Structure 1
Amino acid sequence: MESPDVHTPHAHPPGHGGGGLPRWLELTLAISALVTSVASIALAVKHGDTMEKLVVANSFPYMQGGFSDMTPDGRDVLSLDLLNRGVGPAHETSLFVTVDGHYVRSSEELITASIGPGKSGHGPGQLATLKNSVPTRFIPGGQQQFVLSIAKTADNAANWDLLQKAQPRMSTEFCYCSVFHECWRVVEKELDPVPVKACVRDEKREFTP
C-alpha cells in the first residue's frame, strides 16, 4: 500500500523575503533612487540659476553719452547723444550737464554759459536748437537717442564755431537702470558706468533742453 507524498516547505535563506528580492538589493535600489532624486533636484536648481544669469546677461544695458560736433556723414552738428551699447534696454532717468563745472538746465543756459547771452534762438546769427525735451528716456539695446542738436549754417557759422571751441568745457553725467532695476551712474570723463543702488533725480539740476 503506497503512502501519500508529503511536501515539506523549504526554508528561505537569510536576507530573503517570501518570494521577494533580497533585502540588501531592495536597500541598494532605494538608496540609488534617493541619490537620483537628489541629483535631479540639484541639476534643476543649477539649471534655473544658469537660466536666470543668462536672462540677466541678455538684458544688460551699457550706456555711454556726451557731446560731439560732427555726424557720421560729416555734417557740422553739435549734439548731445545717449548711446546704449549693451544688449538690453536702458531707462535713463536723470541727466546733468555742466559748463566749467556749473550746472545748466536748458540749451539756452548751455549756450549762454559757453559763449555769452543773446546767442540762442531763431534770429539772425543765433543758434537754433533741435530738442528732445522728455524728462526720461527708454533706449533699446544697440540704439541711441539725441538730447539736443545744433546744426551749423551759413547764417550762424560764427556763433557755432565759438560753441564748438567751448565744447571741451562741457560735461555730462547721467543715471540709468536695467529692466531688473540694476542701476549705474555715468560721468562723461570716466571710462565705465559705476553701479549705484538707485537713480535719484535732482529737479533743481536736471537738464531738460
Structure 2
Amino acid sequence: MRDSGELLRACCLRDASLPAPKTTVSAVRRRVMAPGEEFAFLRVPLQASSAPAWQALNREAFNVQLRVCYCSVLEDCWLLDTRKPEPEPVQACPATPEGGGWES
C-alpha cells in the first residue's frame, strides 16, 4: 500500500460514507532503535466520529500482511514478513518501486 489511507480503504472503509479515522504515521528511515525497543509506525486513535471504521480496522488488523526490511548499525539486514515465523537475513534491503511496496 502506498499510504495509510490506501490501507484503510482496502481493509476497512468499504462503505464510502464512513468517515476515515485520523492516522499518525511516523517515518522509520534513518531511525536507530535499541534491542527490544518497540516502534509504532501507524497509530489510529479511537474517535467517536470514526468509530465504525476504527472498529473494522481493529477486527482486520491480524489479517494485514506486512513486509519490512531493516538493518542494524553493523549493516546486518533482515526482511520481516508477517506470513513467516522469523525474519530472514538478507544482504541488503531492496529498493522499493516509486510510490509502492515490494512484489511477493
State the TM-score, normalized to the length of structure 2.
0.78
Are 2:1 and 1:107 equivalent residues in the alignment? no
Tell whether the 8 Å contact from 1:175 to 1:186 is kept in structure 2 after alignment: yes
Decide which structure has greater strand share. 1
Are 2:51 and 1:154 equivalent residues in the alignment? no
Match of residue 141, structure 1, among 14, 25, 35: 35
Aligned-residue offset at 1:136: 4.5
For structure 1, which runs of at least 5 residues remain unmatched after alignment? Answer: 1-103, 120-124
Equivalent residue pairs, number: 99
Further displaced range: 164-173 or 142-151: 164-173
In our comparison, the structure showing a higher alpha carbon Rg is 1
- Cα deviation, 1:108-145, whole Å, max 9, x if unaligned, reads 000111123465xxxxx430001103544322222122
Are 2:60 and 1:163 equivalent residues in the alignment? no
Aligned-residue offset at 1:154: 2.3
State the TM-score, normalized to the length of structure 1.
0.42
In structure 2, C-alpha distance between the alignment counterparts of 1:118 and 1:108, rounded to whole Å = 15
SS in structure 2 at match of 1:112: helix
- Cα deviation, 1:9-34, whole Å, max 9, x if unaligned, reads xxxxxxxxxxxxxxxxxxxxxxxxxx
CA RMSD of aligned residues (A): 2.2
In structure 2, C-alpha distance between the alignment counterparts of 1:143 and 1:153, rounded to whole Å = 27
| Residue matched to 1:185 | 79
Q: Which amino acid aligns with 2:50?
A: N
Alignment CA distance shift 1:118-1:130 (3 Å): farther
Aligned-residue offset at 1:180: 2.1
Alignment CA distance shift 1:170-1:118 (3 Å): farther
What is the percent sequence identity of the aligned residues?
26
Tell whether the 8 Å contact from 2:21 to 2:47 is kept in structure 1 after alignment: no
In structure 2, C-alpha distance between the alignment counterparts of 1:158 and 1:107, rounded to whole Å = 17
SS in structure 2 at match of 1:201: coil
| Residue matched to 1:130 | 24
Tell whether the 8 Å contact from 1:112 to 1:118 is kept in structure 2 after alignment: no
In structure 1, C-alpha distance between the alignment counterparts of 2:96 and 2:43, rounded to whole Å = 24
